Amino acid sequence: MATILDGNNIAAQIKDEVAAQVKELAAQGIRPGLAAVLVGEDPASEIYVRSKVRVCEQLGVFSEKISPPASSTSEQILELIHSLNQREDIDGILVQLPLPPHIDSKRVLLAVCPEKDVDGFHPVNVGNLSTQRPGLAPCTPAGIMEILRRSGIEIAGRSAVVLGRSDIVGKPIAMMLMNANATVTVCHSRTVDLPAYTSTADILVAAIGKAAMVKPEMVKPGAAVIDVGINRLMDKNKVREYFPDDPKRQEEFAAKGSTLIGDVHPRVAEVAGAITPVPGGVGPLTIAMLMANTVKAARLRRGMAVQ
């Protein structure tokens, strides 16, 4: 059976390191600050932002939640972003997606000052990543790299296959793996004969958004498998199919009417050398890396060395 790569433990390590850096900066009269912009009242987004603000409080990072009404115009949100760009007490600006459909999301994200773009989505930061210059990298891919490195999984010289080409995960993790000297192949929904690629991967990153799509026969024995997918199962028969010997999952489904599964079939753990669970794998790293990016932004903006 595969070694389970526990994202909760790795996230806790990173948060401890961030808290230590926050204390170090506090001794110099600096407190990193994060502004979270949540437009409207989307329940899922409310939960995400609340959890981010809570972690800020735990680590000593200043946080400010700003909640314009859903009726706000693109121009009003752009004015808000401009004002946050000017504030010295704000080092990071997080715009919680999705925005209401009438707001121009691309214009809003582009308006965030690259030095405060803690999501790492601004074209300037994408360019910095691709040319290996200092900057802020997307949180989920950065978290994946931390899982690999802190778990002692060799990257240089290895064959890595990324399933998915999104701007948020697929493209940046492919670039990060390439920067770490892996030989990278990016596959997607139009790839012909997907197993021909996945079965050669020493490192397989699944971020394609389809429940249990990666089957055991698609995975190279001993590979490190990183499952980025978060899919909600609401079909009792599917739960029995995917988790036949997992009474905890069946109990959870009976209690909640749903359970989570990644893009990787649970039986892949019988083939892989190491694997991230869902939940408790990549997910916890996203917020941890957001905190790390906020501190990094605070240091970079002041011309300080990045730890």
What would the pLDDT profile of 251-281 be if each residue is shown by its tens digit?
899 999 999 999 999 999 999 999 999 999 9
Q: Name the residue among 19, 90, 95 with its Cα closest to residue 57.
A: 19
Could you tell me if 162 and 271 lie in one domain?
A: yes
Do 153 and 203 meet the contact criterion of CB atoms below 8 Å apart? yes
Residues 95 and 151 in one domain: no
Within the chain, which residues score under 50 in pLDDT?
none
Domain assignment of residue 297, yes or no: no
Residues 57 and 191 in one domain: no
Could you confirm whether 236 is annotated as catalytic? Answer: no
**Does 280 lie in the same domain as 146?**
yes
Please check whether residue 42 lies inside any domain of the structure: yes
Confidence (pLDDT) at 250 = 87
Does pTM surpass 0.85?
Answer: yes
151 and 255: one domain?
yes
In the annotation, is 119 catalytic? yes
User: What pLDDT, on the 0 to 100 scale, is given for residue 44?
Assistant: 84
DSSP letter (8 states) at residue 214: B
For position 293, what pLDDT does the model report?
A: 98
Domain tally for the chain?
2
- Beta-carbon count within 10 A of 156 CB: 9
Same-domain check for residues 213 and 248: yes
SS3 90: coil
Domain that holds residue 58: 29-113
**Helix and strand tally (H, E) in the chain?**
11, 11
Q: Which of 91, 117, 119, 263 is catalytic?
A: 119
76 a catalytic residue = no
Active-site annotation holder among 15, 52, 220, 296: 52
> Which of 15, 21, 96, 296 is flagged as catalytic?
96
CATH of the domain at 272: 3.40.50.720
In a domain, 130, yes or no: no
Residue 76 lies in a domain: yes
